[in-house]
Amino acid sequence: MRTRTGSGRPARAVVFDLDGTLVDSLDLVANGYIDTVEAFGGPRITRDQLEDAWHLGPTPVMMEHFLGRPAPDAVDHFLQRVRAGSGALALFPGIAVMAAELDAAGIRLGIVTNATRANAEVVLAATGIASLLPVVVCAGERAPKPSPDGLLAVLSDLDTQPGESVYVGDSWVDLACAGSAGVRGVHATWAQPGGCQLGSEHECVRTVDALHALLLGCLRSTP
Q: Which amino acid would we find at residue 98?
A: M
The DSSP bridge partners found for residue 19 are: 23
Handedness of CA 55, 119, 98, 2 (dihedral sign): positive
- Is 17 an active-site residue? yes
SS3 for 99-155, per residue? Answer: HHHHHHCCCEEEEECCCCHHHHHHHHHHHCCCCCCCEEECECCECCCCCCHHHHHHH
Amino acid 103 reads D
Choosing from 17, 24, 170, 174, which is the catalytic residue?
17
- The residues carrying an active-site annotation are 17
